[in-house]
A and B are shown apart, each in its own frame.
Chain A
Amino acid sequence: MTEQKMIPPNTLMAIGAVGGLVCVYLAYFLAPANPIFVFFGALGAVFAAVWGADAVRRIASYGLGTGVPSIGLLALGMGIIAVLFSLALDISAGAPIVAFIVSCAIGAIIGIISVKILGMTIPIMVSATTEIAGAGALLILGLGIVIAGSLDYAIFVKEVVTTGFIMLIYIAGGMAMLHPHNSNLGPDETQDRLLALSAEKAGIAVILAGFASVAGMGAIIVTVLIGLIIWYYFFSKYYDFVKRDAYKVVDTGLLPTEEEMQ
């Protein structure tokens, strides 16, 4: 395997945290003017998913012993609790940043407990659980604002939680974070391939959230289109990376007919 150029964790953290928060805020402030702008929330969710996938990649490469999905679902579990809590505080524009901070705090507490009490020996345990918790909260905020068109607690609960779309965000968003490492892990794992897969999965989550949106026909069309573009672009990119990293890609052809089996 030739040396791959890696994106350093801090750059990705900056892109994910700052990009995610800025996009969620853009959606938050622009949506009242025109609901089409909720698509910024979708972009924020994609940034957060890519950041989270990289954090999962770093922590899970130490070998958790429990499978990669556990940590992805942990991230979204912490995110859900932090997001609903901060929206319930009724602090209007402060909610997204408070959700992010509370989620990071819960992540840090769980990381510290895992290291100190359960005696886990992974050196980046605390920082990585903090990161995935933050990414999980941003993912839920981003996709949630796409569905509800607002971050008002009453509207969010009615349109996202009571309708059950919260579980769609939970699993589809969790997929974007946990699936890339789960399917790419191994000695030939490369970061760019993994991140492309994460963005592709996030694209699918954006399409689904777009369909579920109540922010108006314009918002649905724009979000679904953006999701499709993200999905198509990163799927082709991922396929290119697969072809680059594989020794050889061969066509297996169709299933043999009954005569050929004889």
Chain B
Amino acid sequence: MIDIVGLIAPNILWILAIVIGGTLISISVHFISVGGAPAAMAQATGIGTGTVMLAAGAGIAGIIAAGAVMDLNQDLGVVLGAGGVGAMVMLAATMIVGTWIYAYGVGVMPVSAKVKYDPITKYRQDLYVSQGTEGHGIPTVAFVSSLIGGLLGGFGAALAYYALMKVGTYAYAGVTPLAVHDLNLVGVVAAFTIGFFFINSVIPSYNIVGTIEGFHDPKFKRWPKAAVASFLASIPLGIVAVIAVGALALVGGL
């Protein structure tokens, strides 16, 4: 049995960081424009896949970017920035290629069914919505909203990753601290962060019932509920994660 109290005591701050990361991930899902299966058939606005797939894809891209940078530079701002940009790049690439397919393959124009005028470009929307659909493609406002979502999700994922790495590399009494290059540490932290990201992207997707267009969608107003839910759910997860990662450092690596 390992010393649980000795592990949690010096890491309270990092547990808090993990919880904040989880809450950020939860909020980010509300920004990302997903339409689910209807969008895949160009019958709803947004990217044509489930919230969890998309948010998780962006989150994992963020974790990879954050992890790669963390190996070279342990500055919190740099790691967070890398995570946010990594997730944004993944989402932007998905959306721009998706838009090409909607425009040139399916033959529909990007249009939102939730607002009359696009809040960013001020273009008229409602005239161009095909009958019987909930909009189609990814209009400018949804694109920008998703990028904000990617940024927040990447921040959240990178923050959780950074916190767990700090827990793993902390100098516990009587052991040589692990290096940030320790592969086993990186593996455990990455596996944890990905599991953590999936949980925190499923909770908000229940909140929005699977589809949302972005910050202009009326459903967006529900975000505080999901933020509270993820905040509460992240507390036990953060404690459990800190113990498992800290145990690795306590024995001085493998």
Interface residues of A (CB under 8 A from B): 64-67, 69-71, 73-74, 76-82, 84-85, 87-91, 102, 105-106, 109-110, 113-114, 117-120, 153-154, 157-158, 161-164, 166-167, 170
Contacts and interface: CB of A to CB of B under 8 A. Distances in A.
A73 B195 CA distance: 8
B180 interface: no
A73 B206 contact: no
A73 B186 CA distance: 22
Contacts of A117: 225, 228-229, 232
Interface in B188-209: 188, 191-192, 194-199, 202-203, 205-207, 209
Interface stretch (B67-75, B84-92, B113-121, B241-249): B241-249
A85 B195 contact: no
Contact of B192 (A66, A69, A80): A80
A70 B50 contact: yes
B1 interface: yes
A198 B52 CA distance: 22
A166 B196 CA distance: 14
Given A66-B206, A88-B247, A81 B196 contact: yes
A74 B200 CA distance: 9
B199 A85 contact: no
28 contacts: A64-B206, A66-B50, A69-B53, A70-B50, A73-B198, A74-B199, A76-B198, A77-B194, A77-B197, A77-B198, A78-B195, A81-B237, A84-B244, A88-B2, A88-B248, A106-B240, A109-B232, A110-B199, A114-B203, A117-B228, A154-B251, A157-B248, A161-B187, A162-B184, A162-B186, A162-B188, A164-B187, A170-B194
A141 to B, nearest CB: 14
A88 B226 contact: no
Contacts of A84: 188, 191-192, 244
A79 B232 CA distance: 18
B233 A90 contact: no
Interface string B149-179: 0000000000000000000000000000000
B189 to A, nearest CB: 10
Nearest to A91: B1
A74 B240 contact: no
B37 interface: yes
B227 to A, nearest CB: 10
Contacts of A166: 187, 191
B98 interface: no
B187 A70 contact: no
A117 B205 CA distance: 13
Which of B192, B197, B240, B248 has most chain A Cβ within 10 Å? B240
Which of A77, A87, A163 has most chain B Cβ within 10 Å? A77
Contact of A157 (B206, B232, B254): B254
A63 to B, nearest CB: 9
Contact of A109 (B51, B233, B248, B254): B233
A157 B187 contact: yes
Interface string B210-254: 100000000000000110110011001100110111011001001
B203 A110 contact: yes
Contact of A161 (B51, B191, B203, B233): B191
B62 interface: no
